[in-house]
Amino acid sequence: MKQPRGRQEPRRVGNAAMVVTMVVSLCVLTYIKARYCSNPFPKAVAEVEVDEDYDSTRYKLTGPVGEEDFDPSRPTCYNTSKRSERCAAVGDIRVDGNHSRIYISPLSREWRTKPYARRHDAVAMDDVREFTLVPFGGPNDTAVPPLCTRTHSVPGFLFSSGGFAGNLYHDYADVLVPLFASTNHLGGEVQFLLADIKDWWADKFRPLFRQLSRYDVIDVNNDREVHCFPRIIIGSTFHRAMGIDPSRSPGGVTVADFKRLLRRAFRLERAVASRSGAPRRRDRPRLLIISRKSSRRFVNERAMARAAAAARFDVRIAEPDNHTDMPNFARLVNSADVMMGVHGAGLTNMVFLPSRAVLVQVVPFGGLEWLTRVTFKDPARDMDVTYMEYNVSLEESSLRDLYPEDHFYLKHPYDVHKKGWDAIKTVYLDKQNVRLNLTRFTRTLEQARDLLPTP
Ligand SMILES: *[C@@H]1O[C@H](CO)[C@@H](O)[C@H](O)[C@H]1NC(C)=O
Ligand SMILES: *[C@@H]1O[C@H](CO)[C@@H](O)[C@H](O)[C@H]1NC(C)=O
Ligand SMILES: *[C@@H]1O[C@H](CO)[C@@H](O)[C@H](O)[C@H]1NC(C)=O
Ligand SMILES: *[C@@H]1O[C@H](CO)[C@@H](O)[C@H](O)[C@H]1NC(C)=O
Ligand SMILES: *[C@@H]1O[C@H](CO)[C@@H](O)[C@H](O)[C@H]1NC(C)=O
Ligand SMILES: *[C@@H]1O[C@H](CO)[C@@H](O)[C@H](O)[C@H]1NC(C)=O
């Protein structure tokens, strides 16, 4: 039986338990809008190779864990993965951020580097400032370093929020998880130098930076000071998308430690999800539906909310686009036991879910398993989140209304994939909305409930 189409969803939601939390839209910032809002997964994400980016045999770092920056046998700059180049030096170090130059003595030769963990991706790297490491003080060195105007006793750590930062997925995959893995062992005794800063971005993640560093972040490009350090590290290391390999991270830290730090930073109460929900929730686990407004929309979101309430879930709907109020949004996500949404950057909010919560990724029609796997399925494991997926059938997809039944796009999605990312994005990501079959949806929720831990 066909579901009636074009039927108006009731304007008002009958269920009083449902609160629609509208988190404001990132897209208000026009710069971001131009780059990301039409494309929550910029080109390069799709080009992520399906195999792991980090090959532990090829990029084996020797030396005691946590001391990798001091290995004198290693060149100043070296690759720690296919995606990450890092430079580390000890000595007389003077950072002239305004001119993107770092004077180092001793240093055997000049180096150039971009401190953003996506080196294999030229599109992203175009938007990352390059820094030049300039030798001085040696017999053959001609550079005259500037005088220090601020001297720091702790190491400097330089990273960038250029590239694709601003898209929540990239914030965590390219910047924040690598930053955590690279600096947590310093115990707060580190001065962050942030390049390509966007003020709103730095404000949004400041509570996280405070957990990692006792000192205010320096906006290194727009600052006339010459910052001097006894030691500097430039660029985070990268293990896997939103993941950390504890056998290689200083102190053996894991993503679980990262999540603990996020909970501290944003004062999140819940460590573990529960089948009966949080206390005082009348034995109802909370379902958070991640809403999208432009593409990949749940057309029957309100009906979904009613079905979920009927299945004894405490339901919330939220659109996580503008995180000016991130602490509140983080608390909302942390209050959920099950989070469900159509593939998109908003699912990155799983970083705030309590352990053993269930993430249900709704996979749009179009053979997108590989994309949904590398972006959220694999990372969910490191996050200690139970992963489920809901494959949208053609019957549930708005594509059925756009094309005749035997259209190439509907019959041969993998052939569309051969035409490249732009084709995939246009056909299956930008123009598709979904109307979930409520019977399947309710069954999925029951399965999710069964996967939740009993209190
Ligand atoms: C919804 O899914 C159920 C179970 O898969 C199926 O029996 C039913 O026909 C579907 N309903 C619609 C309207 O497609
Ligand atoms: C989104 O964030 C911007 C930047 O902080 C803020 O000025 C704007 O009011 C927010 N958007 C909405 C719709 O509130
Ligand atoms: C890292 O790898 C890239 C590509 O293979 C290479 O161009 C670059 O020079 C390497 N960096 C270092 C410091 O060896
Ligand atoms: C300085 O340059 C000379 C001549 O090119 C070279 O022989 C010498 O090894 C260099 N010294 C250092 C410390 O690089
Ligand atoms: C240096 O900083 C000023 C702001 O203090 C900024 O206007 C200028 O563009 C910066 N120069 C460079 C090369 O980044
Ligand atoms: C969704 O589709 C993929 C690819 O066909 C399949 O591997 C996976 O098992 C499906 N998931 C579910 C829950 O049916």
> How far apart (Å, rounded) are the C-alpha atoms in residues 123 and 422?
14
Q: Is 22 in the pocket of ligand 2 (CB under 6 A)?
A: no
Better pLDDT: 290 or 51:
290
Q: What's the whole-number mean pLDDT along residues 196-222?
A: 95
- Checking if the pLDDT of 66 tops 60, the result is no
For residue range 388-397, list pLDDT tens digits in order: 999 999 999 9
Average pLDDT over residues 114-124: 95
Indicate if ligand 2 lies below 6 Å from the C-beta of 322: yes
Distance (Å) from CA 276 to ligand 1 centroid: 28
pLDDT recorded at residue 46: 35
Taking CB atoms and a 6 Å cutoff, what residues make up the pocket around ligand 1? 1, 3, 395, 437, 439-440
Q: Which of 240, 246, 233 is nearest to 83 (CA)?
A: 240
Pocket of ligand 5 contains residue 99 by CB under 6 Å: yes
* CA dihedral of residues 209, 214, 219, 224 (deg, nearest 10): 180
Dihedral angle of Cα 193, 214, 240, 360, to the nearest 10 degrees: -120
Sorting pLDDT into bands at 50, 70 and 90, what band is 30? Answer: very low
Q: Confidence class of residue 68 from pLDDT cuts 50, 70 and 90?
A: low
pLDDT (mean) for 242-268: 92
- Higher pLDDT: 45 or 290? It is 290
For residue 181, is pLDDT > 70? yes
> Is residue 199 scored above 80 in pLDDT?
yes
Say whether pLDDT at 158 is over 90.
yes
- 286-451 in CATH: which number? 3.40.50
Instruction: For residue 378, give the nearest of 339, 424, 409, 347 by alpha carbon.
Output: 347
Cα 441 from Cα 27, distance rounded (Å): 30
Coil/strand/helix, residue 90: strand
Q: What is the pLDDT of residue 249?
A: 86
**Nearest one of 374, 376, 373 to 359, comparing CA atoms:** 376
Side chain identity, residue 410:
L
Average pLDDT over residues 143-156: 97
Q: Per the omega criterion (within 30 degrees of 0), is the bond before 106 cis?
A: yes
- 214-245 as b/e: b if 16+ CB within 10 A: eeebbbbbebeebbbbebbbbbbbbbbbbbbb
Between residues 449 and 41, the one the model is more confident about: 449
Given pLDDT bands bounded at 50, 70 and 90, which one contains residue 59?
Answer: low
Q: What is the mean pLDDT of residues 420-436?
A: 94
pLDDT, greater one: 66 or 118: 118
Residue 15 reports pLDDT greater than 50: no
Domain ranges of the chain: 67-254, 286-451
Rounded CA separation 321/197 (Å): 20
- Return the best residue to mutate from 85, 116, 120, 233 for the ligand 3 pocket (most ligand atoms within 8 A of CB): 85
pLDDT of 342 reads 97
Yes or no: say if 376 and 45 are a contact pair by the CB < 8 Å rule.
no
Tell how far the Cα of 131 is from the centroid of ligand 5, in angstroms: 14
Average pLDDT on 69-80 reads: 80
Q: Is the pLDDT of residue 11 over 80?
A: no
Task: Return the residue whose CA atom lies nearest to atom 9 of ligand 1.
Answer: 1
- What was the pLDDT predicted at 57? 52
Q: Which of 370, 372, 377, 391 to mutate to test the pocket of ligand 6 (most atoms within 8 A of CB)?
A: 391
Choice between 363 and 30, residue whose per-residue pLDDT is larger? 363
Check pocket membership of 98 for ligand 5, CB cut-off 6 A.
yes
